[in-house]
Amino acid sequence: MFLQVYSLFILMLDLVTLLVGIFFAILMAIYRTFRPPPLKSLHGEVAMVVGAGRGVGRELAIHLCRLGVSVACVDINAENSNVTVEKTSQALGVAKTYICNVTDKNEVARTVNIIRSQLGEITMLFHCCSIPSPRALIEDQPEIRHTIELTVVSHFWLLETVLPSMERAGKGHIVVLSSVAGLSGVVTGGSRVPLSTAQFAVQGLAESLHTELRHSNSNIIITLVHVYPFIVSAEMARDIRFRIPSYFGTMPAVEAAKQILDGVRRNYAEFSVPGYLLYLGHVLRVLPKKASFMMRDLLDTGVDFG
């Protein structure tokens, strides 16, 4: 009898402690919404930007160089990557091109070793291949194996080689980008199940990695970025359909990169571009399934083939 009472007391104490902790966590989150943490300096960091040849990856590489970061511009297309390096010529940091197929484990290991020998231990990793291009959404249906390998499996090959580098440096920041396809799927004229599946997998990978590193008391930070609007060029904007364009319209890659780096420099564990849409994603997961579908129909985000 005494043991049961004692166990009940311990349980109640744990519940009270938990509720108090949750309450203060919510208060802190509200406070940080109006008073965000200060921006940390990235000067002297060594960043590996995968997918630096175009779009968000290119703009991230350029902005990082301006902040005094040495950037390894990794891409499978040498011409695109060289253009990125040329655009960083007047920045404070150093940028070099590295051609790599990140779906090949051996090639990733070789590339990382070359970067370490030329730029130093890698302390930041940006994986931008997770964001499908507008053409991938509009034109051909994605090949399943390639989509999964490029978007998901490549993370494991990169982490396997980059994490030891960060541990040796005593610090690290891994930035994982996920697109709108991981929020509610992509409504198009053809099947985009592989794209959406890959995006959901990327989010799960980031959360699992965050949990593992948190319990190991590591100095490595994990940031999951939800890129909700379509990042497109001006000539592609007509192909993207938004029912409420003033809130869910397109965004240029340069603006997206600025917002991404702003969140990374504040060490956010998770945020979205634009920021307020992160809460919409949480609401969609809490609502009953039918209500969630009704909300998605209202937003009606997709690709217009008309």
pLDDT digits (tens, 9 = 90+) for 243-278: 555 555 567 888 889 999 999 999 998 888 877 777
* Helix, coil or strand: residue 276: coil
Residue 227, classed as helix, strand or coil, is strand
pLDDT for 240: 53
Calculate mean pLDDT across residues 232-242. 50
What pLDDT band is residue 235 in, cutting at 50, 70 and 90?
A: very low
- Cα–Cα distance for residue pair 283/82, rounded to 1 Å: 42
Number of Cβ within 10 Å of residue 240's Cβ equals: 20
Burial letters for 67-91: b for 16+ Cβ neighbours within 10 Å, e otherwise?
Answer: bebbbbbbbbeeebbebbbeebeeb
The pLDDT value recorded for residue 158 is 95
What integer pLDDT is reported at residue 131 of this predicted model? 63
| More confidently predicted of 94 and 131 | 94
Strand pairing category for 172-179 and 70-75: unpaired
Q: Which of 222, 281, 274, 271 shows the shortest CA–CA distance to 248?
A: 274
pLDDT tens digits, 201-213: 888 899 889 888 8
Contact between 73 and 95 (Cβ < 8 Å): yes
Domains of the chain: 44-134+141-299 (3.40.50.720)
Going by pLDDT thresholds of 50, 70 and 90, the confidence category of residue 218 is confident
Helical axes 154-169 vs 193-215, angle rounded to 10° = 20
Cα angle 231, 287, 27 (rounded to 5 degrees) comes to 80
Mean pLDDT, the chain, rounded, equals 80
* More confident: 84 or 278: 84
* Whether residue 231 has pLDDT greater than 60: no
Contact 128, 57 (CB under 8 A): yes
Instruction: Give residue 160's pLDDT band: very low, low, confident or very high (50, 70, 90).
Output: very high
Query: pTM here?
Result: 0.82
Q: Residue 73 and residue 52: Cα distance in Å, rounded?
A: 5
Range with lowest mean pLDDT among 94-103, 127-136, 191-200:
127-136
- The whole-number pLDDT of residue 133 equals 52
CA distances 194 to 57, 119, 152, 158, 213, Å, are 22, 36, 11, 21, 28
